[in-house]
Structure 1
Amino acid sequence: MTSIDPTDYVEASEGNGLRFNDERQQAKFELGVCMAVYQWEELNTAVENSWGGANSAEKRDWISGIVIELFDEKVVDIQLIEETLLYAMVDEFDTEVDNDSALEIGALIFKFYKDVSIGNYNDIDLLYSKWQEKQSKGSSNINRIHIEEDPNNPDVSDSEEDEEDEGDNEDIPQLQQEDSMEVDTEPVGPIVDEDGFELVQKKGRRGGRR
């Protein structure tokens, strides 16, 4: 894996934040953020297993929105994006990610921002094409987490286990990096405007960085 500098940052030269004034550039960047977030396997696992409840897929889209909102500020670094992703996973999915996957997604988003700033949309368009192709084929490989029966307590009923889980909020799922894992998802999906650019529907800042 290429070395990532978490302190690498971009800073606005004007007082309007890091949003692009050109609508096409901004739309492409927002599309890039969506595609990067949909690449995060740990988040996809949480969505497919409904760790965030019935609206888990909607929460994934909201995470894309809060990352985009970070660029309303004048300075953003990779670590800020990583922390925002990690906090969102804890707040929305009760899940702690203890590997570098959020850092890698942050670096990818950062790369997309720099690409868009020079008018290079190739990588974003490639990911979007792959995403569209995946949607057209449908989801066949969904990463479900199955909890086996406790061999030491075989008589414990499912309902009793559910009650124990609900009463212990400290048991947060731990995710480890699995390079071989491939997750196909059926996202609620970003909105495509009349020019063919995909936009994120922001829902307001509900957590973000703390």
Structure 2
Amino acid sequence: MSSNIDEAAYVEAGNGQACLAFKDEKQEARFELGVSMMVYKWDALSIAVENGWGGPESAEKRDWVTAVIVDLFKSEKIVDVTLIEETLLYAMADEFDTNVEDDSALPIAAGIIEIYKQCDAQDFSTVEKLYLDWTEKQKSKGSKRIVQVEEDPLNPDASDSEEEEEEVDGEFEDDDSMAVDEVPEINTEPVVDEDGFELVQKKGRRRHN
């Protein structure tokens, strides 16, 4: 994929098709795997999952995000970078109570559009490389990123300067860890915990209704 991001990139269903879903099973399977790999590649979301900002079901919520993106292509005739980016950001705000303001969702969205185009041309090289990179990362995983968020007692809602990130070395097993030969499963149903999606993470940047 090109390092230059085309923010106006989009894909459109043709030949009278009602949506962008692939009719060929291999193309659809590779595309869904590619979307999953791109979602897993999003560092902001990985940190949120590792720190449980979405509650005890954080790992399942990440797979739900993948399903939401895939469903865009199964229900829409046109999908562009902006739509995917906004969907990712809304998911982070709603499910992880986190506002991402570093534009990191943009390359993920653009990458998904590019993967769709490649799968449409039956070119699966990028998807296969992403999966290989992910499996290698799982093998070499030896540290977990812990982000501690402390609230300012004088201004609890201001926290951008309060986030501290540290590396914790040692053997461990993440809740979201998977066997290296196992493809991340896509959960097509929203994850509802016993508290009705009440998030346990304390974030200074809060979502305002």
User: One fold, TM greater than 0.5?
Assistant: yes
**Matches of 1:9 and 1:60, distance apart in 2:** 24
**Matches of 1:171 and 1:69, distance apart in 2:** 35
**Contact map agreement 1:95 1:173 (CA 8 A) in 2:** no
**Contact map agreement 2:45 2:62 (CA 8 A) in 1:** yes
**Aligned amino acid, residue 93 of structure 1:** F
Alignment of 1:39-188 (within 5 A): 39-72=41-74, 73-137=76-140, 139-147=141-149, 187=176
**Contact map agreement 1:52 1:92 (CA 8 A) in 2:** yes
Flag as ranges the 4+ runs of structure 1 deviating above 3 A: 147-150, 170-174, 184-190, 196-199
CA drift at 1:142: 1.3
CA drift at 1:125: 0.4
**Contact map agreement 1:27 1:197 (CA 8 A) in 2:** no
Of 53-62 and 139-148, deviating more is 139-148
Residue 6 of structure 2 is matched in structure 1 by 5
Residue 187 of structure 2 is matched in structure 1 by 201
* Percent identity of equivalent pairs: 43
**Contact map agreement 1:28 1:124 (CA 8 A) in 2:** yes
Cα offsets for 1:63-85 (capped at 9, x unmatched): 00000000011110000000000
**Matches of 1:102 and 1:53, distance apart in 2:** 21
**Aligned amino acid, residue 116 of structure 1:** C
Cα offsets for 1:46-66 (capped at 9, x unmatched): 111111101111110000000
SS of the aligned residue for 2:148 comes to: coil
- Residue 117 and residue 55 in structure 1: after superposition, are their counterparts in 2 closer, same or farther (change >3 A)? same
TM-score (norm 2): 0.73
**Contact map agreement 1:11 1:75 (CA 8 A) in 2:** yes
**Contact map agreement 2:42 2:108 (CA 8 A) in 1:** yes
Residue 32 of structure 1 is matched in structure 2 by 34
Of 108-117 and 196-205, deviating more is 196-205
Residue 180 of structure 1 is matched in structure 2 by none
CA drift at 1:140: 1.4
Residue 25 of structure 2 is matched in structure 1 by 23
SS of the aligned residue for 2:147 comes to: coil
- Residue 92 and residue 122 in structure 1: after superposition, are their counterparts in 2 closer, same or farther (change >3 A)? same
May I ask how many residue pairs the two structures share in their alignment? 180
- Residue 91 and residue 98 in structure 1: after superposition, are their counterparts in 2 closer, same or farther (change >3 A)? same
**Contact map agreement 1:10 1:77 (CA 8 A) in 2:** yes
Unaligned runs of 5+ in 1: 154-163, 177-183
CA RMSD of aligned residues (A): 3.5
**Matches of 1:198 and 1:6, distance apart in 2:** 27
Unaligned runs of 5+ in 2: 164-172, 193-209
